[in-house]
Structure 1
Amino acid sequence: MSTLNTEANLPCPDDFYQVLTDMHRDLSDEQSADVNARLILLLSNHIGDQSVLEEAMRIAREHIS
Structure 2
Amino acid sequence: MTTLNIQNNFAAPDDFYEHLIDAHRDLSTEQSHAMNAALVLLLANHIGDLGVIDDALQKARDTVQNGG
* Class of the TM-score when normalised by the shorter of the 2 chains: over 0.9
CA-CA distance at 1:20 after TM superposition:
0.2
Gaps of 5+ in 1: none
| Deviations, residues 27-52 of structure 1 (Å, cap 9, x unaligned) | 00000001101111110000000000
Q: What is aligned with 1:47?
A: 47
Q: What is aligned with 1:14?
A: 14
TM superposition outliers: structure 1 runs of 4+ over 6 Å: none
Which secondary structure does the structure 1 equivalent of 2:64 belong to? Answer: coil
- What TM-score, normalized to structure 2? 0.91
- What TM-score, normalized to structure 1? 0.95
Q: What is aligned with 2:64?
A: 64
CA-CA distance at 1:63 after TM superposition:
1.8
What RMSD, in angstroms, separates the aligned Cα atoms of the two structures? Answer: 0.7
CA-CA distance at 1:64 after TM superposition:
2.0
User: Alignment identity in percent?
Assistant: 54
How many corresponding residue pairs? 65
Q: What is aligned with 1:4?
A: 4
| Aligned-partner Cα distance in 2 for 1:34–1:20 | 14
